[in-house]
């Protein structure tokens, strides 16, 4: 597919600087641009590439001030990153869509499958499951008994959804993620650990995206809930009875222990760990590798460190920590001077 700068600008409501008839037929990074490529610039660190890129068209923010002449055609938009995402969505929507049910898949007779669905090879749809319209279920997906999957949701290869769980509309679950595995519940006793049955489920609301190899445990009683618009990166563990608020982001290799309640628009950065039975206030930002052991009650808090606490205080501590060798040397020197003074006084 080929698009002119004018077509792209009309779609994005942008302003063309250069040739409106310039054509593109591929997407590229600005630092690796080539003729016929469309790139974007939103991070100021990459501005230097704008003046050397071979890309034909580059999306830039309206407020960008050029320091040199450029050879490419520019399209000024309100937000280059968002505009680029819109173009990618448009491009993806034009690609051929998979439909139909593979002969070697299994759909139980009591299951209900909506219109326009794709069910790939060796996928299994359990008894009384309900699959909405235009759902894509790729090969080797397991959808358990009484599971509900909403319209326009995509389950990539190897996704497993255990019985009674619910997935909303317009969701994406990437390869090999597991929804509804047993929560880690055991009662210690003299004979060892007795398993506590996990009889709840997982509810994933609309517009949620789950990365690959994510584990979301079913509740012991009630539901583990991911509210609307939540985005979960790869290799994340979400334990039983956790509740995650709307439009929260959980980044790779993070773990959230049981019964913790995470608010709306929270950011949990990579490898962060949250203990169980705490509450995280709305719009909190938890830094990478932070260990959160207490509830966060102030909206918009920013936490770093392990144990995690206020970012400003953590930065002060980090500065002192870096100076410890210097401070240690000074203390040793002061001790020696003090001993020398004691000897002089004693004499």
Taking each continuous run of H as one helix and of E as one strand, the counts in the chain are: 5, 40
* Residues 132, 136, 138: CA angle, nearest 5 degrees: 135
If you ran DSSP here, which 8-state letter would residue 234 be given?
S
Strand partners, 216: 179, 238
Q: In angstroms, rounded to a whole number, what is the distance separating the alpha carbons of residues 328 and 191?
A: 51
Q: β-strand 186-189 against 192-195: which pairing, if any?
A: antiparallel
Residues known to be catalytic: 240
Cβ–Cβ under 8 Å, residues 223 and 246: no
Q: In angstroms, rounded to a whole number, what is the distance separating the alpha carbons of residues 105 and 157?
A: 13
Within 10 angstroms of residue 334's Cβ, the number of other Cβ atoms is 10
Helix, strand or coil for residue 83? helix
Using alpha carbons, select from 243, 240, 177 the residue that is nearest to residue 211. 177
Give residues with Cβ within 8 angstroms of 278, minimum separation 6: 260, 261, 292, 293, 294, 295, 296
Cβ–Cβ under 8 Å, residues 129 and 150: no
């Amino acid at each position: 597919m080929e698009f002119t700068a004018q077509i792209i600008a009309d779609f994005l409501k942008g302003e063309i600087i250069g040739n409106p008839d310039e054509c593109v037929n591929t997407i590229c990074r600005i630092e690796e641009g080539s003729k016929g490529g469309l790139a974007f610039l939103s991070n100021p660190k990459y501005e230097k590439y704008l003046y050397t890129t071979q890309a034909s068209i580059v999306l830039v923010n309206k407020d960008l001030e050029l320091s040199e002449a450029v050879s490419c055609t520019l399209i000024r938009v309100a937000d280059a990153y968002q505009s680029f995402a819109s173009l990618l969505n448009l491009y993806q929507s034009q690609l051929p869509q998979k439909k139909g049910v593979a002969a070697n898949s299994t759909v139980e007779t009591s299951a209900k499958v909506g219109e326009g669905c794709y069910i790939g090879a060796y996928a299994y749809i359990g008894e009384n499951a309900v699959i909405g319209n235009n759902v894509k279920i790729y090969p080797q997906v397991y959808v358990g008994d009484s599971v509900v999957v909403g319209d326009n949701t995509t389950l990539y290869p190897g996704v497993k959804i255990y019985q009674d769980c619910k997935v909303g509309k317009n969701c994406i679950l990437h390869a090999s993620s597991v929804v509804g595995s047993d929560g880690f519940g055991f009662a210690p006793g003299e004979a060892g650990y007795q398993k506590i049955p996990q009889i709840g489920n997982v509810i994933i609301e609309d517009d949620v995206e789950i990365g690959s190899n994510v584990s979301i445990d079913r509740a012991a009683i009630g539901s583990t809930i991911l509210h609307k618009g939540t985005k979960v990166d790869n290799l994340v563990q979400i334990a039983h009875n956790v509740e995650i608020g709307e439009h929260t982001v959980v980044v790779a290799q993070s773990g959230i222990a049981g019964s913790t309640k995470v608010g709306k628009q929270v950011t949990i950065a990579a490898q962060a760990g949250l203990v169980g039975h705490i509450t995280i206030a709305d719009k909190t930002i938890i830094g990478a590798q932070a260990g959160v052991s207490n509830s966060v009650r102030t909206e918009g808090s920013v936490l770093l460190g392990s144990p995690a606490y206020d970012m400003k205080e953590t930065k002060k501590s980090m500065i002192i920590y870096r100076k410890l060798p210097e401070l240690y040397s000074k203390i040793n020197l002061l001790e020696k001077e003090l001993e020398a003074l004691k000897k002089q006084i004693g004499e």
